[in-house]
A and B are shown apart, each in its own frame.
Chain A
Amino acid sequence: DTGVSQNPRHKITKRGQNVTFRCDPISEHNRLYWYRQTLGQGPEFLTYFQNEAQLEKSRLLSDRFSAERPKGSFSTLEIQRTEQGDSAMYLCASSYSLEETQYFGPGTRLLVL
């Protein structure tokens, strides 16, 4: 069990470009969450997957954001036409259905110039 991993750890992009982040949850964890965290704030919920089904999306997730979890394993979060306001740490967390604890990855820090 190597924990939740996220790639890349850092991403710098220019405004208007598309970016994609990847999350590999702990194996056999069927629940996967994406959160976004800005400086001085706690993580804010973005979206939730149970296996491959995306069951909940926050109003924070604009049309420019899309997430997938094919085959119920890893997940990707794509941001199209990035804006400076998208600069943040994007965190992925996973958990097992019968447990309440969520295990977080190290995050991907995005900077949009």
Chain B
Amino acid sequence: SQKIEQNSEALNIQEGKTATLTCNYTNYSPAYLQWYRQDPGRGPVFLLLIRENEKEKRKERLKVTFDTTLKQSLFHITASQPADSATYLCARISGGYNKLIFGAGTRLAVHP
């Protein structure tokens, strides 16, 4: 079955450092992976989508990579700020209707 695995332990980093979150998937490579941010008590907010044929994608301080050999995506936040503290979810599509399979998410805490 298709699964998404994210490090369930919280990631604590100092403000200004780069945060790196890992997403591993099983089975065949999806056409694309998506990353979402979720704050407590709120719905996920879309951040970035990276396609299978893209090695890397950037948006402001965010960078995502997609390695089909390792079956892995890395999500980087450079120059992290306390406002970046949240849970970050990785998701792959499944099936013809683009339903999403999510990982459990990684909680990021950026300390001043």
Residues of A within 8 A of B (CB): 4, 6, 31, 33, 35, 40-45, 48, 50, 55-56, 91, 93, 95, 100-107, 109
Out of B4, B41, B94, B97, name the residue touching A42 (CB < 8 Å): B4
Residues of the A chain whose Cβ atoms lie less than 8 Å from the Cβ of B97: 31, 48, 50, 55-56
Interface size class of B (residues with CB under 8 A): 20 to 34
**Are the CB atoms of A42 and B43 closer together than 8 Å?**
no
B45 CB-CB contact with A under 8 Å: yes
Out of B8, B43, B94, B98, name the residue touching A104 (CB < 8 Å): B43
Q: A42-B91, A43-B102 are in contact. List 20 more A-B contacts (CB 8 A).
A: A6-B43, A31-B97, A40-B8, A41-B104, A42-B102, A44-B102, A45-B94, A45-B99, A48-B99, A50-B97, A93-B43, A100-B93, A101-B34, A102-B100, A104-B45, A104-B46, A105-B43, A106-B42, A107-B42, A107-B43
A56-B99, A100-B32 given; A42·B104 CB < 8 A: yes
Nearest residue (CB) in A for B94 is: A45
Pull 28 A–B residue pairs with CB atoms less than 8 Å apart, ordered by A.
A4-B43, A6-B43, A31-B97, A31-B98, A33-B99, A35-B100, A41-B104, A41-B105, A42-B103, A42-B105, A45-B99, A45-B100, A45-B101, A48-B99, A50-B97, A55-B97, A91-B44, A95-B98, A100-B32, A100-B93, A100-B98, A102-B46, A103-B46, A104-B44, A104-B46, A106-B42, A107-B43, A109-B41
